[in-house]
Structure 1
Amino acid sequence: MTRRLRVAATLLAFAVLPAAAQTPAPASPPPGLAGPLVLAKQGSFFVGGRTIKSDTLSTLPAYAPSGTITVEQMYVRYQVPVEARRPPVTLIHGCCLTGKTWETTPDGRMGWDEYFVRRGHPTYVIDQVSRGRSSADPSLVNSVRLGKTPPDKTPPIFAAGQEAAWAIFRFGTEYPQVHPGMRFPLAAKDEFYKQMVVDWIATMPTPNPTVTALSQLAKQLDGTVLISHSQSGIYPFQTAALDTRGIAAIVSIEPGTCPSATGDLKPYLGIPIMVLWGDYVETSSRWAPRLKACRAFAEALTKAGGRIDHVVLPEIGIKGNSHMLMQDDNSLEIADRLVAWIEKTVAAKKN
């Protein structure tokens, strides 16, 4: 089959997977997804981490400045269904957010963490290192505050303002404009803004400890689908470059960057990959170049013999999705297509 026919077949297959995605999401869960959520087990744990000694843990009189703390650990919350008939999925959030990305949507609908469990996938949701329940290291900040370190050495932490996030997440070209037909539940935008947190990624060493922890987690799970988003879109690829063991497939949703089309493609040749995009990407000066670079990567990997499905939703008739498509009003329909893709590709890989 020629590459053009193969891509066309892939897009058609994704387009005809269950549920029509061009009608508003129903008020109640789809058939078979209502009722009590029955689990075999649930819990949480940390992956990775190291201990350090510091003399600048605190500037408050009630807490000693010197001591030992653990840093660079990655928090993982998991739920395992009673009938775990499909491979585990690991959900990895993006910039300025936490694992909350995948939980209940801002307007109160079922999140992907619950949905994948109900569809038979053991589901693991992480908080990136130094985000959410994965603690950050305050030593350098306090060292500057105490005058032990020059102010220009203050770590570069940041937060995305709501106005800037509006365009980054493609609710509209700029605040407060709204893209026509945009599917994010803007009536609940204030609940979404509550999810946004300070981002410490610029303080992270190389390789990012989250990537190292994902590699450890993948091997621990012995075959998980790494599903990443935005800032973390590159993490599954970086994880594969470290070690492909334990990676059953990669789904990269609107990645901030893809691997270079001219780089080493060998780590990705044996892994089923999907790169997935929402709408309005071509009109965004931030996202259009990233889409172009990912197209180039997909073409190069296909030529090298890899299995990659590069899907742009409006090109298959699914319009209106924002950057936060796991929270858009058709989020479960998109998740259903991913479930079908995983079942098809991971099963094919095993066979």
Structure 2
Amino acid sequence: MRQCLRAALLGGALLLAGLPGGTHAQGTPSPAGPSAGAPAEAPLQVREIGSLHVGGRVAELSGLPSREIVYSPGAPPIRLDPNGQFQVEQMYAQYVRLQDPRARYPLILAHGGGLTGVTYETTPDGRPGWQMLFLRAGHDVYVTDAVERGRAGWARFPEILPGEPVFRTMGEGWGLFRVGPADGWNIEPSLRRAFPDTRFPAAAWNRFMRQGVPRWTTTDRQVQAGYDALVQQVCPCVILVHSQGGNFGFTAALNAPDKVRAVIAVEPSGTPPAGADAARLRGIPHLVVWGDHIEGNPFWTNIRANVGRWQARIREAGGTADTLDLPAQGIRGNSHMLMMDDNNAEIAARIQDWMARQGLMR
């Protein structure tokens, strides 16, 4: 069974190997959408596609001044009163449920900071994302937008969301996401310097940056409440989280160990506090996945050390906390955005193998 699943996951990548942008991140990216010339795969047998919002609360504002606005050109002006009740702090998820899933539990895909569930859809250079790859591997898949992101919606700030949003520049992520050295960023694409072995489709960087959205640094409590509400509504489940989402996934498992069957953290940037009871996770296997170019990067070196200590605590409590270190396995050049790199299908296959070994497939 595992060999069949691996073949299904890797098939898309192998078919794309000869297409522009399919083999090396520095090449010309393939256009967004299905890859021309690739043999058609068997259609997915989908039972249901839908979406839901979970969690949140009603907030009430008062004492704010009203003003006159025009909603559309040519429409008459209307007086806007910003006072009243607002539905806020909800989380969004889109689900695709298969006719005959081979996984025992649905798979939740949760994004990182300044991003949305688009992370897992189509890659910036037009290849299938992890949503499609894990559907083909037999999972029902939920792709999420966390509180204050994407289709989850915003709220007024600072009246409801404390503080103000943070916006990522185009150049910040170049070094932070380890596509290239921080000083390799240039607004002119031909002058950008990526790592020679980068697996990220660097020529599609501008397309990737279209996915960026504002984020807050003051809303962890509200975001965690959204994750917890989602777990209560759709689980038992497996949670796959990325970057900022890592700590939310770890904590969701701590908060509902009866609902979460496994946690897969792709380059998580945070961990639960020192007082968290790792023994609650004894029956929940954890996998942490790391890409390349971490050594020598103080930010990521410190993060990896913190995550390693959290994994050690899980193991000391009798739990499973495995690590998929791609460079240690001879797979070089992966960025922070592993699910978008040109070997994203191979990485998904390795994650799929781990899930099968944990007994999460039928």
* TM-score of the superposed pair, with normalisation by structure 1: 0.83
Which residue number corresponds to residue 129 of structure 1? 147
Return the match for 2:290 from 277, 280, 289. Answer: 277
Is the contact made by 2:146 and 2:227 (CA closer than 8 Å) also made in structure 1?
Answer: no
Alignment CA distance shift 1:139-1:157 (3 Å): closer
Alignment CA distance shift 1:222-1:158 (3 Å): closer
**C-alpha distance in structure 2 between counterparts of 1:111 and 1:209, whole Å:** 28
- Cα deviation, residue 324, structure 1: 0.2
Which residue number corresponds to residue 3 of structure 1? none
Alignment CA distance shift 1:160-1:73 (3 Å): same
Which residue number corresponds to residue 292 of structure 1? 305
Return the match for 2:218 from 203, 209, 231. Answer: 203
- Cα deviation, residue 256, structure 1: 0.7
Letter aligned with residue 302 of structure 1:
R
Return the match for 1:106 from 124, 134, 159. Answer: 124
Return the match for 1:48 from 50, 55, 61. Answer: 55
Report matched runs for 1:1-351 at 5 Å.
26=17, 27=19, 34-55=41-62, 56=64, 61=69, 62=78, 63-86=80-103, 87-140=105-158, 155-174=163-182, 175-176=184-185, 177-200=193-216, 202-204=217-219, 208-259=221-272, 263-347=276-360
Deviates more, 1:124-133 or 1:287-296: 287-296
Provide structure 2 residue ranges, at least 5 long, that are not aligned to the other structure. 20-34, 70-77, 186-192
**C-alpha distance in structure 2 between counterparts of 1:58 and 1:334, whole Å:** 53
- Cα deviation, residue 339, structure 1: 1.6
SS of the equivalent of 2:299 reads coil
**C-alpha distance in structure 1 between counterparts of 2:331 and 2:205, whole Å:** 22
**C-alpha distance in structure 1 between counterparts of 2:319 and 2:332, whole Å:** 28
SS of the equivalent of 1:45 reads strand
Is the contact made by 1:215 and 1:242 (CA closer than 8 Å) also made in structure 2?
Answer: yes
SS of the equivalent of 2:150 reads coil
Q: CA offsets, 1:246-300, max 9 Å, x none?
A: 1010001101123467753112211010011000111212101111222222233
Alignment CA distance shift 1:307-1:215 (3 Å): same
SS of the equivalent of 2:358 reads helix
Is the contact made by 1:74 and 1:129 (CA closer than 8 Å) also made in structure 2?
Answer: yes
Alignment CA distance shift 1:129-1:260 (3 Å): closer
Provide structure 1 residue ranges, at least 5 long, that are not aligned to the other structure. 1-12, 144-152
* TM-score of the superposed pair, with normalisation by structure 2: 0.80
SS of the equivalent of 1:234 reads helix
Is the contact made by 2:158 and 2:164 (CA closer than 8 Å) also made in structure 1?
Answer: no
- Cα deviation, residue 96, structure 1: 0.6
Which residue number corresponds to residue 150 of structure 1? none
Identical pairs, percent: 34
Alignment CA distance shift 1:172-1:197 (3 Å): same
- Cα deviation, residue 154, structure 1: 7.5
- Cα deviation, residue 81, structure 1: 1.2
Alignment CA distance shift 1:154-1:311 (3 Å): closer
Question: How many equivalent pairs are there?
Answer: 319
Letter aligned with residue 278 of structure 2:
L
- Cα deviation, residue 85, structure 1: 1.6
Q: CA RMSD in A?
A: 2.9
**C-alpha distance in structure 2 between counterparts of 1:311 and 1:166, whole Å:** 23
**C-alpha distance in structure 2 between counterparts of 1:113 and 1:60, whole Å:** 44
- Cα deviation, residue 53, structure 1: 1.6
Is the contact made by 1:33 and 1:118 (CA closer than 8 Å) also made in structure 2?
Answer: no
Alignment CA distance shift 1:289-1:59 (3 Å): farther
**C-alpha distance in structure 2 between counterparts of 1:182 and 1:306, whole Å:** 34
Is the contact made by 2:200 and 2:340 (CA closer than 8 Å) also made in structure 1?
Answer: yes
Alignment CA distance shift 1:25-1:254 (3 Å): farther
